[in-house]
Amino acid sequence: MAKKNIDDLRELLFSTIEGVKAGTLDVDRAKVIGDLSQVMVNTAAVEVKYAQATGQKGSAFLEKAQELPPGITGVTVHRMRG
């Protein structure tokens, strides 16, 4: 399963809104999705504060997933400290 990010959460929330508007998703389920989404956003906020406190850059949840060329499954980045 691919890691999810904020774009995936937005897509889910917009889909949920559309489902409620169309009558294909009941309000109780939409409320649960909204509540769980809020927990995820709060968690991301904590990640950002932690990153700031430790000198890191952002949160993987808030960053867009890196699009790789076909056949490439990952990238290793080496950083020098100094």
The pLDDT profile of the chain, 82 residues, written as one tens digit per residue, is: 678 888 899 999 999 999 999 999 999 999 999 999 999 999 988 988 888 888 887 777 777 656 777 887 777 877 787 6
Within 13 Å of residue 65, how many CA atoms lie on the same side as its CB?
Answer: 13
Number of domains in the chain: 1
CB 56 within 8 A of CB 47: no
* Helix, strand or coil, per DSSP, at residue 13: helix
Q: Give the count of beta carbons closer than 10 Å to the beta carbon of residue 12.
A: 15
- Name the pTM for this structure: 0.65
Rg (CA), the chain: 17
Domain containing residue 55: 1-82
